[in-house]
Amino acid sequence: MYVALILVPLLAAAVAAAVPSNRLRPWLLPAVAVTHLALTIVSLSRPAGPFVNRWLALDPPGRLVLLLISTLFLICSVYSVGYLRLRAELSNRIFCVALLLFLTMATFIAMSRHLGLLWVAMEATTLATAPLIYFNRTPRSIEATWKYLLVGSVGIALALLGSFFLAYAAVQQGMEPSLQLDQLLRDAPHLSKPWLHAAFILLLVGYGTKMGLAPMHTWKPDAYGEAPGVVGALLAGGVTTCAFLALVRVDHICRSAGDSAYCGRLLVFLGLLSMAFAAAFVVGQRDFKRMLAYSSVEHMGILSLGLGLGGAAVFGSLLHMINNAMTKGVLFLSAGNIHRAYDAKTTDEVRGAMRRLPLSGTLFLLGFLAITGSPPFGPFISEFAILNGAFDGRRFLVGAAFLSLLLIIFIGMGRTVLTVVQGRPSAAARRTLYRDGLLTGLPILASFAIVLLFGLYIPSPLRAMLHDATQYLEVRP
C-alpha cells in the first residue's frame, strides 16, 4: 500500500514524459491526484501497519502531511489543466513530469522515518520544483530559479552536515550511529550534547532555508513572484510543509534528549524574526505575488513559533500547517488568475479586480482576510491556539510580539490587497481575454470551502489525527 503511494506518481511521471500530446498530457495530473488521494484515505483508515524496513511508515505527523499534500495536489492539478490550456503555446512536458515527481518525493518525505532518506527526498523536491519556476522562460524567472537553486542547495548541504553531526553524536559516545528515527529517539538522552546542539543548529538552518524562515528567506520573494500561480501554491503549501515536517522530526529528537529549552528558544527566536522580516517587507509592497511570498515567510515563522513554544501550541502549529497550505492555495491561485487577466502584478497597474474577475477577486480578498487571521476562517483558530499556548506557558512577551506583528502584517497586506481588488479597472490598463472558467475557478472555491469549514468546525477524524500527532510529539521529561 505504501509502495503504491510512491509508485503511482513515479510511473505517471514516466508516462507523462512519454505522452506526445500537449493537450492530453495535463489530464494525467488530476487522474493521478484522485488515485493518490484515494490510496491515501485507504491507508489512513487502516491502523498504522508494519513498517517497511523501519525506513518507511506513516506515523501521526506523517499522516497529516500526506493527507494535506494529497489534497493540495488534487486542487492544484485540476487548476493546472485549465492553466496549461491557456498556455498552450509552451510545451508542458517538463511541467507535468516535474509536478508528478514532486508528488512522489513529497510522499516519500511524509512516509520517511530515516533522516537520510528524508534528506534525499528533500533534495529531490528542490531539483523537481526548480524547472517549474522557470516555466515562463523570462529573464526574471531564470534569475529567480538561480537564486532558488543556489540558496536551496546550500540549505540542503547544511542539513546534510547537520545529519552527519547527529550521527557522530552517537559515535562519540561509543554507540552505534543511526539516522533511523526510532533508534535516534531511543538513544537521544545519551547522545553527546555539544554535537547534538551543533547538529540542531545546522538542521534548523538547513531545513529552515527550504521552509523560508528568515534570515534564509531571500529566495522566496523572487521564486514565488516569478513562478506561475499554481507553482506558487504548491511551493508555499507543499514544499514548506515538507520542510516543516523535517523540522518537527528534528525538534522531536532534540526534545527527547531533554533539550527542550534550547530548541524551543531557537525556534521561537527564528519564528519571531521571520514574522518581523515579513512585517518589514510586506508594508508598502507593490507586487502582490511578492507580498504573498512574505506572507509565506510570516506563516513559516508562526509554525516555528508554535513548535518552539511546545505544549498546546504544537496542536496549533499542526493545525496551522493545514490551514496555511489551503489558504495559500486560495491566494496563489486567485492571484495567478488576476495576473493573467491584467498581464501585470503590481498595484500601479492592477485595480478593481473584484469587478473584472468577480470570482477570483472576491476569493483573493477573502483569502487575505483568512490568512491574516480573521474569524470565521481556519487560520484564526490555529493562531488562537498558538497564542493560547503562549499565554499558558506564561510567555507573555512572546504572545504580545506575536499579536503586534500580526497586526502590522494585516495593515500592510491590507493596503496592497484592497488597492488591487477595489475600485475600477483603469481605462488605460491592459486587458487580456481571460475570464474565470470552471477549471481555473472551481479549485479555488474548493480550497476556500475547506478553509471556511475549518474555521467553523474541524471534522472529528481530522481532530483525532491532530490530537494523535500532538500526543506523539509530546515528550515526558
Partner 1 sequence: MSSTLNAALVVVLLLNLLALGTSRIRALVQAVALQGVVLGVTPLLAHAHQSAVAGFIAIATVVIKGALIPRILFKALRDAQIKREVEPLVGFVPSMLLGALGTAVSIALAAMLPLAPGHAQTLVVPAALSTVLTGFVLLTSRVKAITQVIGYLVLENGIFIFGLLLLEALPSLVELGVLLDVFVGVFVISIIIHHINREFDSLDTRRLSSLRE
Catalog residues that contact partner 1 under the rule CB under 8 A. Answer: 116, 119-120, 123, 127, 130, 134, 139-140, 142-147, 149-150, 153-154, 156-157, 160-161, 164-165, 167-168, 171-172, 174, 176-179, 192, 194-195, 198, 221-222, 225-226, 281
DSSP E strand stretches across 7-57: none
Give the shortest CB-54-to-partner 1 separation in angstroms: 15
Calculate the alpha carbon distances from 263 to 151, 256, 340 in Å: 24, 11, 43
Backbone angles phi, psi at 418, to 5 degrees: -65, -35
Give the shortest CB-172-to-partner 1 separation in angstroms: 5
Nearer to partner 1, 101 or 369 (CB): 101
Nearer to partner 1, 177 or 376 (CB): 177
Give the shortest CB-163-to-partner 1 separation in angstroms: 9
Nearer to partner 1, 192 or 416 (CB): 192
The region that residue 476 occupies, defined by phi over 0 for left and psi between -120 and 50 for alpha, beta otherwise, is beta
Please say whether the beta carbons of 472 and 464 come within 8 A. no
Give the shortest CB-222-to-partner 1 separation in angstroms: 5
Give the shortest CB-470-to-partner 1 separation in angstroms: 32
Q: All 3 cell numbers of residue 41? A: 484515505
Length of the chain: 477
Please say whether the beta carbons of 247 and 314 come within 8 A. no
Bridge partners of residue 56, in order along the sequence: 52, 112
Half-sphere exposure of 121 (CA within 13 A, CB side): 25
Nearer to partner 1, 142 or 452 (CB): 142
Half-sphere exposure of 443 (CA within 13 A, CB side): 30
**String of b and e for 319-353 (b: at least 16 CB within 10 Å)?**
bbbbbbbbbbbbbbbbbbbbbbbbeebbbebbbbb
Give the shortest CB-294-to-partner 1 separation in angstroms: 10
Nearer to partner 1, 286 or 435 (CB): 286
Nearer to partner 1, 293 or 366 (CB): 293
Give the shortest CB-87-to-partner 1 separation in angstroms: 19
| DSSP state letter for 50 | -
Nearer to partner 1, 162 or 336 (CB): 162
